[in-house]
Chains A and B, each alone.
Chain A
Amino acid sequence: GQQLNQSPQSMFIQEGEDVSMNCTSSSIFNTWLWYKQDPGEGPVLLIALYKAGELTSNGRLTAQFGITRKDSFLNISASIPSDVGIYFCAGREGSQGNLIFGKGTKLSVKP
């Protein structure tokens, strides 16, 4: 089935640093979503993207829908300890409603 390549797999950064992660797909997606998952909880929506080239911010988070519609990135500026968690990209292709998830980026922030 369709696979999303999400990188990096994990990141260890110092508090205050900026973070960037991305996802690529071999096929075109019409929606890209970024979720954060804390231990023992469900994915929480961070940003939703619906148009190629769209750049959307949510506080310190910024995400873009790649113009080829096959990729997306998420940036976190000035990281803080509560940014720790696993970040998942998810995409929707064609007319299907189901989401295809990346394998996640585990973010660790050192105070």
Chain B
Amino acid sequence: EPEVTQTPSHQVTQMGQEVILRCVPISNHLYFYWYRQILGQKVEFLVSFYNNEISEKSEIFDDQFSVERPDGSNFTLKIRSTKLEDSAMYFCASSDSTYNQPQHFGDGTRLSIL
């Protein structure tokens, strides 16, 4: 069964550095999402992406964050000037429609900011 894959599985970065988290969505899906989950807390929406542009974003997704689909298969989340509170699991998800289709999640990237 097709799945969403994320790399790396764990990223350790010094505070203030930039990180890029990578995702390969399911190949025929058109809608892409990033969520984060701070340890022990619920999953929170960050951003959705369709047709090479952001379609929705949450309050969490400020100017520190950006997303890109650099080619036909990858979907990336860039975090500039990381802060300690950016430490979390970051999940990528994809769906083939916004409506009436579920989102399928990857196994996440654990981001640890030191």
Chain A residues packing against B (C-beta within 8 Å): 1, 30-31, 33, 35, 40-45, 48, 50, 88, 90, 95-104
Distance, CA A97 to CA B55, complexed state (A):
9
User: Which segment, of B11-19, B40-48, B68-76, B79-87, faces chain A?
Assistant: B40-48
List chain A residues, Cβ under 8 A from B105. Answer: 35, 42-45
Distance, CA A31 to CA B101, complexed state (A):
9
List chain B residues, Cβ under 8 A from A88. Answer: 42-43
Distance, CA A71 to CA B6, complexed state (A):
32
Least Cβ distance of B105 to chain A in Å? 4
Least Cβ distance of B55 to chain A in Å? 7
Give the number of chain B interface residues (Cβ < 8 Å): 29
Listed A/B pairs (21) with beta-carbon separation below 8 Å? A1-B59, A31-B100, A40-B107, A40-B108, A40-B110, A42-B105, A42-B108, A43-B43, A43-B105, A45-B104, A48-B102, A88-B42, A88-B43, A97-B55, A97-B56, A98-B33, A98-B48, A99-B45, A101-B43, A102-B42, A104-B42
The closest CB in chain B to the CB of A50 belongs to B100
- Contact: B55 with A101, CB < 8 Å? no
List chain A residues, Cβ under 8 A from B50. Answer: 97
Least Cβ distance of B24 to chain A in Å? 13
List chain B residues, Cβ under 8 A from A41. Answer: 107-108
